[in-house]
């Protein structure tokens, strides 16, 4: 069996097909010994190894062996059962990672949008508990400025003059501020600010339209609107609060490939995240 490249396992009635080398990632594990016929508990039946364990949880075992990373669904809750399965198979590096449940659980992400209208301008402030989300939004949102003559606040089309992109105001890593609309310049000239939010290609000047596009963008990105309220202030700002479950970054194993190694190595945070 040690020279066989493809191995078939039936775990609790669920069939898995993999390479022998995948099961031998950790030479001291029972799965590695199974491939070498050194563990008699795993019976070979009709060319398949029969394992009387939980087949659904074994899919996470296989994902770990293939990627050397623990990345679980946001609704996963069977940490202790999966840890027991890892211990049964002798995958103690995986069991040790699963014991750090607080690092693997998804975190609740909160984002707040404040919106206020003042005369011909609309003001926006976006605050988020996750700075990477704010950075991503800052890449999507662009404010363009230009002068227009006598077109006023509700003009549906930007001026024919070239529009210049403006940098967003970033008071901190966790928030951003921008505005749209028009303000009086001189004579019949108005300074206009238009907002574009990728992937939408429009340049919008009306604050209500920009707000609608922004909220729709957040909903499509996996956020859920949980509350709306009016903040008591001179501006009478409308406040929209969103939340979403943010998947924790995967914990990965750096495997020592030296001969005779047990495969036990230090866990590290992976920079790759699977989904949101």
| Domain spans in the chain, listed from the N-terminal domain onward | 6-104, 108-150+157-246
* Dist. CA 201–CA 180, nearest whole Å: 16
Burial class (CB in 10 A: 0-12, 13-18, 19+), 177: middle
Phi-psi region of 275 (alpha: psi -120 to 50; beta: other; left: phi over 0): left
What number of CA atoms fall less than 13 Å from residue 84's CA on the CB side? 5
pLDDT for 257 equals 42
Closest C-alpha among 115, 230, 125, 222 to residue 169: 125
pLDDT for 160 equals 53
* Dist. CA 190–CA 147, nearest whole Å: 6
Closest C-alpha among 17, 14, 13 to residue 5: 17
CATH architecture of 6-104: 2-Layer Sandwich (3.30)
pLDDT in tens, 154-198: 455 554 567 899 888 999 999 999 999 988 766 667 788 999 999
Q: Please give the CATH superfamily to which domain 108-150+157-246 belongs.
A: GTP cyclohydrolase I feedback regulatory protein GFRP (3.30.1410.10)
* Dist. CA 169–CA 175, nearest whole Å: 9
CA angle 216, 242, 199 (to 5 degrees): 30
CA distances from 41 to 21, 24, 33, 113, 116 (A): 20, 17, 11, 58, 68
The rounded average pLDDT for each run of 10 residues, N- to C-terminus, in the chain (276 residues) is: 74 93 92 85 86 94 91 83 95 89 80 90 93 93 82 49 86 93 73 93 93 95 92 79 76 51 42 37
User: Do the domains 108-150+157-246 and 6-104 match in fold?
Assistant: no
Task: Judge if pTM exceeds 0.85.
Answer: no
* Dist. CA 7–CA 23, nearest whole Å: 9
pLDDT in tens, 133-155: 999 999 999 999 987 665 444 45
């Amino acid at each position: 069996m040690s020279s066989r490249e493809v191995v078939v396992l039936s775990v609790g009635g669920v069939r898995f097909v993999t390479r022998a080398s995948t099961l031998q990632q950790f030479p001291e594990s029972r799965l590695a010994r199974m491939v070498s016929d050194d563990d008699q508990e795993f019976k070979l039946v009709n060319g398949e190894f029969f394992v009387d364990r939980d087949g659904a949880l074994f899919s996470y075992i296989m994902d770990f062996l293939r990627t050397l990373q623990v990345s679980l669904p946001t609704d996963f809750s069977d940490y202790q059962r999966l840890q027991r399965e890892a211990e049964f198979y002798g995958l103690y590096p995986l069991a040790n990672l699963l014991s750090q449940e607080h690092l693997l659980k998804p975190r609740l992400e909160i984002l707040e949008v404040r919106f206020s209208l003042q005369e011909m301008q609309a003001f926006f402030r976006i605050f988020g508990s996750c700075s990477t989300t704010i950075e991503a939004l800052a890449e999507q949102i662009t404010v363009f400025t230009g002068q227009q003559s006598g077109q006023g606040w509700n003009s549906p089309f930007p001026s024919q003059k070239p529009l210049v992109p403006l940098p967003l105001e970033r008071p901190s890593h966790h928030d951003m501020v921008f505005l749209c609309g028009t303000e009086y310049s001189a004579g019949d000239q108005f300074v206009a600010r238009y907002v574009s939010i990728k992937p939408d290609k429009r340049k919008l000047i009306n604050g209500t339209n920009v707000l609608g596009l922004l909220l729709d963008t957040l909903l499509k990105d996996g956020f859920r609107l949980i509350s709306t309220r009016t903040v008591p202030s001179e501006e009478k700002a409308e406040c929209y609060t969103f939340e979403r479950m943010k998947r924790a970054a995967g914990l990965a194993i750096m495997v020592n490939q030296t001969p005779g190694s047990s495969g036990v190595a230090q866990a590290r945070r992976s920079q790759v995240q699977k989904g949101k």
